[in-house]
A and B are shown apart, each in its own frame.
Chain A
Amino acid sequence: GESVGLHLPTLSVQEGDNSIINCAYSNSASDYFIWYKQESGKGPQFIIDIRSNMDKRQGQRVTVLLNKTVKHLSLQIAATQPGDSAVYFCAENDGTSYGKLTFGQGTILTVHP
């Protein structure tokens, strides 16, 4: 079946470094992608999104890159801070009308002071 998966289940970085979290998707019909951050004991929190007609989108300290050719999505976090430590999920919308999201497994980001 269609799925969204992550290449790296864990990522450890030093404070101040840039972090890159990757995600592969298999549904070529997906037209909307979201990155969520989930801190321990909390619900997923929206970080940034991108539509399939874009290759790059920037937010505050975060950038999402979309490569439709290889069905790859990445989240870049600049100057990573200890507060960025969390599980990061990518999710895709397959273009249906009810906004169904398919989530990947998640990447654990640990930022060391």
Chain B
Amino acid sequence: NAGVTQTPKFRILKIGQSMTLQCTQDMNHNYMYWYRQDPGMGLKLIYYSVGAGITDKGEVPNGYNVSRSTTEDFPLRLELAAPSQTSVYFCASSYLGEETQYFGPGTRLLVL
């Protein structure tokens, strides 16, 4: 199993541009999550999904959107990039939602 994979690894965006961060897991996990990690800080939950077709907001959802059309994929969309969205984004998944979350390698995003 590849686990949780994320693309791209790094991206520079101009203010106002949009992009989609991709996340795929091959562990047949029900639950998937998106976090952002600012320098020197812990992770903050942006959105999560408990299964295909079901998503909900986390702690810091503003400026982001998600979709979950399949069990494997959970893309994160930034519609109008802002400098405040400069961060490292981590996708994670878990099987039952109460157990360990497994993280991808992250996407580093710089908005200028």
Contact = CB atoms under 8 A, between A and B. Distances in A.
- The yes or no verdict on A and B being binding partners is yes
Contacts of A41: 106
Interface residues of B, number: 28
Given A98-B31, A100-B45, A103-B42, A43 B100 contact: no
Contacts, number: 63
Contacts of A105: 40-42
Contacts of B4: 43
Interface string A31-65: 01010100001111110010000000000000000
Interface residues of A, number: 23
A101 B40 CA distance: 18
Interface stretch (B12-20, B65-73, B91-99): B91-99
Nearest to A93: B98
A53 B96 CA distance: 19
B56 A44 contact: no
A103 B100 CA distance: 13
A92 B100 CA distance: 11
Contacts of B90: 43-44
Interface of B: 4, 31, 33, 35, 40-45, 48, 50, 56, 58, 90, 92, 94, 96-106
Given A41-B106, A46-B101, 16 more contacts: A34-B100, A43-B90, A43-B104, A44-B43, A46-B100, A91-B43, A97-B97, A98-B50, A98-B97, A99-B94, A99-B96, A100-B45, A100-B48, A100-B58, A103-B44, A106-B40
